[in-house]
Amino acid sequence: MNAMLPILVPALVKIVVILGIVLTGVAYTTLAERKVSAWIQNRYGPNRVGPWGLLQPVADGMKFFFKEDITPAEAYRPLYLLAPLGTLIPALVTFAVIPFGTSMTIAGEAHPLVIAPSMNVGLIYILALSSVGVYGILLAGWSSGNKYSMMGSLRGASQVISYELAMGLALLGIVLATGSFDLSVIVDSQKGGWTSPWFIVPQIIGFVVFTVAIFAETNRLPFDLPEGESEIVGGYHTEYSGLRFAMFFMGEYANMITASALIVVLYLGGWHLPFLDYGWFGPVWGGILSMAVFFGKIALLLFIFIWVRWTLPRFRYDQLMGLGWKRLLPLALVNMVLLATFYLLMGRPS
Amino acid sequence: MILKRPTLRWWEKTYFPAVAKGMLLTFRHIFRPKVTLQYPEERWALPPRYRGAPILLTGLDGKEKCTSCKLCQFICPPEAIKIVGGETEDEKEKFPREFTIDMGLCIFCGYCQEVCPVEAIWLKDQYELADYDRDALIFPKEKLLKMGRKPPYLPGKEKPLEE
């Protein structure tokens, strides 16, 4: 047991920190969503609970606690009760491999700011988990015993399957460039200088494909067909109420944060800023600053997520499938062939 | 009308120009002045002849103008007005011993004001009448007279009558 402690304690501390940041982030993303949507519609948004409405998420949470938790008579109870966890947990567990800062030296020991450091299958782990996430949606819709929920979950499943392919192919471009599935290596190979730019520059096609696909994976507008309220009531969570509905809600926003983190790690240089070396700030402050930069980038992407939601209308179902299979998939293939040719002729950047 | 479908160039078919245009539009809206009226703190400037709560007016002698003719009670569509008449030594000979308006029933149609021969009942600019208790919404004569202390506007001349 004592031999385990030096590994266990830092990992636990990191887990607590990350869970704290992500869950607070989830709460405040809901507020940001309401605020930004209000601003875009020339309104103020929630501004009554606390200064500038900053305590609104607390009030919302309290409300969810006191709501009745209804199980429909037609529902298949065990899965109905379990399904909300199926969307929240994969979104949170993904953060285990996401490097959220440079390594921090505390008491003479270097701690890389990842929960599971140097996991050499990080990218595959993420792809696997993002597919597991759809089970929550599928089970919720199926076990509700409601035709609209069923429709929503079927849409969710087909959407995730359609867009996962393009997403995976876009990711292969990154693997080609770095020769590794390890996210720390991927981050370190895009320091942001002239020689190792962020991957958004050399792989702009891959970035576009990945971003569009991840919008579809997180069921965000313009791809929110699984919960298209104007067509199928509330989609897969029609029958849910109270805390269980809150869990779906949190799952959606946790997914958004995870997706933003992925985009940052894979295409926007992780915690790196161009021409900035965290060594200048010392071992501790450098680590904290790198975390701040990382989460700042995530916040910016979350704003874009919200901004897109309140700009674009929902796709028609055939348009969604058409875009996934007939546009994104060929585009991702072209991107891969181009990159492969390029790296074959020019040699891989180390 | 026949709308000609525009032929799109290849870059327009990627959706990106249209998406960018829309995003720019919504982004600019973030900085526009807000249209929300922050209600309890901010209020609308009411038009001078706004039809709010019906109230009772007092004459120059300080007594209610109402002569208890009950025309308002008869015309009131939701039957919100109840009057019990009585005799008085004054010139008008009759006065309302009791005069209640149930604000929970009142629909603010203004028929009572229209029908009143002595301009004793008037729809004033008060609109915050909500209460947790239904019975508290039945306003007695004293309350209605108190609400009408400040004279409202004369039709035609949009300024207050002198007291």
CA atoms of A148 and A84, how far apart (whole Å): 17
pLDDT at B131: 86
Band (A107; pLDDT cuts 50, 70, 90): low
Mean pLDDT of chain B: 83
**Tokens standing for residue A177:** 């460039």
Residues of chain B contacting residue A312, judged by C-beta atoms under 8 Å apart: 19, 22
Question: What's the rounded Cα separation, in Å, for the pair A160 and A238?
Answer: 20
Q: What is the pLDDT of residues A318-338, one digit of tens each?
A: 888 888 888 888 988 998 888
**Does A226 score more than 80 pLDDT?**
no
- Chain A contact set for B26 (CB, 8 A): 40, 307, 310-311
Q: Indicate the pLDDT class of residue B40, thresholds 50, 70 and 90.
A: confident
Q: In this structure, is residue B24 part of a structural domain?
A: no
State the best of B21, B30, B32 to mutate against chain A, taking most chain A CBs within 10 Å: B30
Whether the pLDDT of residue B163 is over 50: the answer is no
Of A39, A42, A307, the CB nearest to B23: A307
DSSP A262-326: HHHHHHS-TT--TT--GGGG-HHHHHHHHHHHHHHHHHHHHHHHHHHHTTSPPPPHHHHHHIIII
Contact between B101 and B81 under an 8 Å Cβ cutoff? The reply is yes
Per-residue pLDDT, A108: 65
Q: Is the ipTM value over 0.95, yes or no?
A: no
Q: Which residues pair with B96 in a beta bridge?
A: B85
**pLDDT for res A281:** 72
Q: Does the pLDDT value for residue B156 go beyond 70?
A: no
Identify the burial level of A193 via C-beta atoms within 10 angstroms of its C-beta, where 0-12 means exposed, 13-18 middle and 19 or more buried: exposed
Residues in chain B: 163
Q: Residue B106: give the domain boundaries.
A: 54-147
Check residues A118 and A292 and name the one with the higher pLDDT: A292
The span from the CA of A258 to the CA of A268, in Å, is: 14
Chain A nearest C-alpha distance from B35 (Å): 6
Confidence of residue B88 (pLDDT cuts 50, 70, 90): confident
A44/B25 touch (CB, cutoff 8 Å), yes or no: no
Instruction: Inspect the interface and report whether the beta carbons of B27 and A310 lie closer than 8 Å.
Output: no
- Interface probe with B: pick from A207, A211, A312, A331, most Cβ of B within 10 Å: A312
Q: What CA–CA distance (Å, rounded) separates A329 from A162?
A: 9
Among candidates B22, B32, B36 on the partner chain, residue whose Cβ is nearest the Cβ of A311: B22
Secondary structure of residue B99 in the 3-state scheme? strand
B59 domain-assigned: yes
Lowest mean pLDDT across A32-41, A69-78, A187-196: A187-196
Q: Which of A11-15, B47-51, B133-137 has the highest mean pLDDT?
A: B133-137
Instruction: Look at residue A127 and tell me whether its pLDDT is greater than 80.
Output: yes
For residues A284 and A263, what is the distance between their CA atoms, to the nearest angstrom? 26
Closest residue of chain B to A47, computed from CA coordinates: B38
- Kind and range of the H or E run holding A79: helix A77-93
Cβ pair A307, A37 in contact under 8 A: no
Show which residues on chain B lie within 8 Å of chain A, measured between beta carbons: 19, 22-23, 25-27, 29-30, 32-36, 38
Other C-beta atoms within 10 Å of A60: how many? 17
Q: What is the pTM of this model?
A: 0.80
- Whether residue B48 contacts residue B161, with contact meaning beta carbons closer than 8 Å, is answered with no
In a domain, B37, yes or no: no
CATH (domain of B80): 3.30.70.3270
Residues 6+ apart with CB under 8 A from B45: none
Is residue B68 in a domain?
Answer: yes
* Burial of B138: CB neighbours in 10 Å, binned 0-12, 13-18, 19+: middle
The average pLDDT across B16-35 equals 88
For the stretch A144-154, pLDDT in tens is 888 888 888 88
| Residue B8 belongs to some domain of the structure | no
Of A40, A42, A312, the CB nearest to B19: A312
| CB-based contact A41 B29, cutoff 8 Å | yes
Q: Cα separation of A116 and A16, whole Å? A: 13
B128 lies in a domain?
yes
pLDDT-derived band at B162 (thresholds 50, 70, 90) equals very low
pLDDT of B159 > 70? The answer is no
pLDDT, residue A63, reads 87
The verdict on a CB contact (< 8 Å) between B29 and A40 is yes
Report if residue B32 sits inside a domain.
no
Cβ-defined contact of B29 to A308 (cutoff 8 Å): no
**SS3 label, residue A258:** helix
Residues of A16-51 as b/e, b for ≥16 C-beta within 10 angstroms? eebeebbbebbbbbbbbbbbbbbbbbeeebbbeeee
Nearest to A39 among B22, B25, B30 (CB): B30
The confidence score (pLDDT) of residue B77 equals 92
Neighbouring C-beta atoms of residue A319, cutoff 10 Å: 11
Q: Which of B149, B136, B66, B148 has its CA nearest to residue B103?
A: B136
CA distance A225 to A215: 12
Nearest CA in chain A to B34: A42
What is the structure's pLDDT at A159? 85
Contact B73, B81 (CB under 8 A): yes
Residue A233, pLDDT above cutoff 70? yes
Bond before A313 cis per omega within 30 degrees:
no
> Over 70: is that where the pLDDT of B158 sits?
no
CA–chain centroid gap for A331, Å, is 22
Let me know: does A310 contact A184? Beta carbons within 8 Å: no
Q: How many domains does chain B have?
A: 1
Tokens in use for B122? 């008037």
> Inter-chain contact A44–B34, Cβ cutoff 8 Å?
yes
> How far apart, in whole angstroms, are the C-alpha atoms of residue B113 and residue A77?
62
- Is B88 a member of any domain? yes
The mean pLDDT of chain A is 83
At A9, list the tokens.
């304690």
